[in-house]
Amino acid sequence: MDLRSAARGFLAFLLSVPVLQGNGDWRVTYSSTNVCALRGAMVDINCTYEYHNNVQYRPTTVRTLWFTKGDKYQPVDLLSDSDYTGRVENSCGKVNCTGSRCHGTCTLRIRDLRQSDSAVYKFRFTTNQPSGGYTGDPGVTLSLTDLQVKVSFPDPTDPTWTKLECHSMCGLAGDPPYIWFRNGKKGRQGVNYKGHIPTGENYSCAVEGYERLSSPLVYAPKTPSVTMNPSGEIKEGSSVTLSCSSDANPAANYTWFKVIKGPFSTNLNQGPKLVFKQILTSDSGQYYCLVQTELRQASNWITIHMKYGPKHTSVCSNPSGEIEEGSSVTLSCSSDANPAATYTWFKEHEDSVKETGQNYTITNITSEHEGNYYCQAHNAIGHHDSTFLFIQSNYSFKIHTPPSKSKAPSETFAY
């Protein structure tokens, strides 16, 4: 097939040499046993046929047809096949006879090629002679292809310098002219496109004159969408899935990272999903999804805010150690909690609340203040009691946490 053929409205690629299929005096010769064509274009499949002319039955009448369904005894003529309605024609030349040999030519033309047209096409002719007719087996295999853009980097020292190549699964006959589209507008000609590919631009290629049959667009990944399921409040021990998606062609590769400190991060998972089967409070933090293709990369961020009851509740005093009678001491309580905890102060064996708030200040301290003190941290999810802080009177006051008298922590979490 040459460029003159392309100019008539089709692009086809012959993949093998002509082959003769015959039996004695009856034969069919296809121009090729395999034909590859662009989907959406038009293709011609050609053959010649020969038969023995019995002079007793002159003039001989010949009926020809092409088929993909049925068999040689009950073929379904493509002209009456509903899958090809309005898209096929069978053009045959005049039969020429020399002595007892006759031969003719036929061409099957298929327009607006569809993927479903990929099939084996056979030609059959019949005559009014006693020998009947003949089918050329095994026929012609038609394959459909699309143009594709291959991406490569010819200069390893400059990853922004990109080479785009327009190609199909089979070579185009006659080396027809290619044309490139940049953001939908016609640009350079040639099978290759080389240059710096800016973010936000897209490219495709086509055979000039067949722009409607252009390749799929290639473009750098767009800013990915990151989601968390379930959304909203996340409680410790629950299952959480982070998902990442991006519009990109060529297809993107996904990698999840967690920000550790400052500019540093750790690689957690390859793939569009990051799953925590039983999430821990230590999993709180900022995550980002990196999307990479041959053209470029993009990323987006998401933060996991864990909700959990108070834990690691502790108390301290200021001043610590020995203090003088009549002076003041401030007890402070702290706890790890989200949302932030509120605090209540208690003295052992006393039911009444001594103070509310993170700090509890005792002024003008006397022997009456001797005893064990503790704080309770609480939020909407649960509460947690600190260990005891012991204030001991012996001329001067000592503040410490005696191991033998420490309060056993209690905690309640509403999951």
Indicate whether 269 and 295 sit together in one domain: yes
- Percentage, residues of the chain above pLDDT 70: 85
What is the full DSSP assignment across 125-147? EEESSTT-EEE-SS-EEEEEE--
Residue 132 has pLDDT above 60, yes or no: yes
Biggest alpha carbon distance in the chain? Answer: 144
Quick one: pLDDT at residue 330?
Answer: 93
Asked if residues 68 and 56 have their Cβ atoms less than 8 Å apart, the reply is: no
Domain end, chosen from 250, 271, 304, is at 304
Q: Do residues 321 and 297 both lie within one domain?
A: no
Residue 96, pLDDT > 80, answer yes
pLDDT at 7: 34
Q: Which pLDDT score, from 0 to 100, does residue 3 have?
A: 31
Domain boundary among 219, 235, 258: 219
Q: Which two tokens stand for residue 367?
A: 């022997």
Model pLDDT, residue 257: 92
The per-residue DSSP string of 236-257 comes to: TTS-EEEEEE---BSPPEEEEE
The answer to whether 244 and 289 have CB atoms below 8 angstroms apart is yes
pLDDT above 70: residue 216: yes
What whole-number distance in Å separates Cα of residue 334 and Cα of residue 316? 9
State whether 22 and 116 are in the same domain: yes
Q: pLDDT tier at 58 (50, 70, 90 boundaries)? A: low
CA distance 16 to 117: 19
**Predicted structure pTM score:** 0.59
In angstroms, the CA 122 to CA 87 distance is: 17
What pLDDT is attached to residue 406? 43
Distance between alpha carbon 33 and the CA centroid of its chain, in Å?
Answer: 37
What is the rounded end-to-end Cα distance, in angstroms, of the chain?
Answer: 72
The verdict on 265 and 178 lying in the same domain is: no
Query: Of 17 and 281, which is predicted with more confidence?
Result: 281
Query: Whose CA is closest to 171, among 207, 218, 210?
Result: 207
For residue 141, the enclosing domain spans 3-145
Total tally of structural domains belonging to the chain: 4
Task: Kindly tell me if the per-residue pLDDT of 347 is higher than 80.
Answer: yes
Domain end position, chosen among 273, 304, 335:
304
Confidence of residue 62 (pLDDT cuts 50, 70, 90): confident
* Cα–Cα distance for residue pair 339/326, rounded to 1 Å: 38
pLDDT at 409 over 50: no
Range with lowest mean pLDDT among 169-183, 253-267, 322-336: 169-183
- Tell whether 159 and 211 lie within a shared domain: yes
Does an H or E element contain 263, and which?
Answer: none
Residues 345 and 388 in one domain: yes
Identify the pLDDT of residue 394: 62
290 and 317: one domain? no
Please check whether residues 167 and 201 belong to one and the same domain: yes
Amino acid, res. 62: V
pLDDT of residue 8: 39
- The reply to whether 48 and 136 lie within a common domain is yes
Place of tokens 């092409």: 66
pLDDT at residue 253, as a whole number: 92
DSSP at 249: B
Tell me the helix, strand and coil percentages in the chain, rounded to 5. 5, 55, 40
User: What pLDDT, on a 0 to 100 scale, did the predictor assign at position 211?
Assistant: 86
Question: Is 188 in contact with 132 (CB distance < 8 Å)?
Answer: no
Average pLDDT of the chain? Answer: 83
Residue 354: per-residue pLDDT: 92
pLDDT of residue 4: 33
Q: Are residues 271 and 379 in the same domain?
A: no
Q: In this predicted model, which residue has the larger pLDDT, 61 or 69?
A: 69
Looking at the structure, tell me whether residues 15 and 107 fall in a common domain.
yes
CATH number of the domain residue 278 falls in: 2.60.40.10
Cβ–Cβ under 8 Å, residues 52 and 101: yes
pLDDT of residue 6: 38
Quote the CA–CA distance of 42 and 8 in Å, as a whole number.
Answer: 9
Least confident segment among 31-40, 73-82, 133-142, 151-160: 151-160
67 in the same domain as 17: yes
